Amino acid sequence: MRPAPRKIAVMGAGSWGTTFAKVLADAGAESGTEVMVWARRNEVAIEINTRHTNTRYLRETMLPANITSSSDTSEVLAGADLVVLAVPAQSLREQLLGFKDSLEPTAVLMSLMKGLERGTDLRMSEVIAEVTNMPEERIAVLSGPNLAMEIARKQPTASVVACRELETASWIAAMCSTDYFRPYTNTDVIGVEIGGIAKNVIALAVGICDGMGMGDNTKSSIITRGLAETTRLALALGGSYETLSGLAGLGDLVATCSSSLSRNNTAGRLLGQGLYLDEVNDRMSQTAEGIKSGRAVLDLATRHNVEVPITEAVVMVLEGTLSVENMGSRLLGRRLKSEGELN
């Protein structure tokens, strides 16, 4: 087992990046672990350092004293044994190319992002490996029901840390375990990532139904069949059924589809109320990753001959080839079949 980290770098000062920095700081308070957050805007770094808040994303939530921040990537990464990546998924490659030379030679990288890279359809762990040439035992991901504001308020939650090397996953889990945040470990990186990626698109579908005034029967049906198509895709890629029935699959799907704190659910609801996609994007203060990754998820499924009818319908709505009013009839008009069929 690696020794406890001297310093942890969190690259990204959005709601989830800042919240997870808080988790790490709370967990490492007694050991004296330094947690440093990279903020793209210098004024955010100044606020974190002087007021111990990040009001744009976490309102008046107080951050622990052992969190510091800087807009200088080299300063944040210097001496960091663990680097937590919390930038928008579509900007990961560009960000990594900019600071990979500042990484410590033995650093472990962990992704908090839940998206596929558009154009390549790569998962975030695959982008990390491609850009940094880092071995898989030093690349991890974290997923699960991670609504940032609830965790920032110390409401109890559980998540999954996944790495192909179980020892690495256990090392990370030990440094983010608190009385309100319980990390489990897993070696199924594919399943954990696909669960976190696909649920964003399903949450858009549930939000659309919400916005159109549909009831709980409709939304429950979408969630259940959404889990089925997510599981089909994960299995086709080499993931585990057990992963998708756990926190990174079912757990994350339920939280994202049912909570008003979910960005993807909110974006879908606005679409269901009749707003155009540009109007939805203008109203959102943070990225709804399902909007960005929907096409990539559909392309990945198509390439592996996996039927994902809910995802396909959502992408058609996003691309303007299907109206929200006709989405339901398209899904219900599919051929009759056994619920247990894989496709």
Active site residues: 199
Q: Residue 174: what are its φ and ψ, rounded to 5°?
A: -65, -30
Count CB-CB contacts under 10 A for residue 125.
Answer: 25
Burial of 65 (0-12, 13-18, 19+ CB in 10 A): exposed
Write out 11-28 in H/E/C secondary structure. Answer: ECCCHHHHHHHHHHHHHC
Give the residue among 103, 35, 100, 95 at the shortest CA–CA distance from 65: 35
Residue indicated by tokens 């930038």: 87
Burial of 1 (0-12, 13-18, 19+ CB in 10 A): exposed
| Phi/psi-derived region of residue 212, left when phi > 0, alpha when psi is between -120 and 50, beta in every other case | alpha
Whole-number Å distance between alpha carbons of 88 and 14: 9
Q: What is the layout of strands, in order, in the sheet containing 82-85? A: 67-70, 34-38, 7-11, 82-85, 108-111, 139-143, 157-163, 181-186
Cβ contacts of residue 328 below 8 Å, gap of 6+?
209, 214, 218
- Output DSSP code: residue 116: B
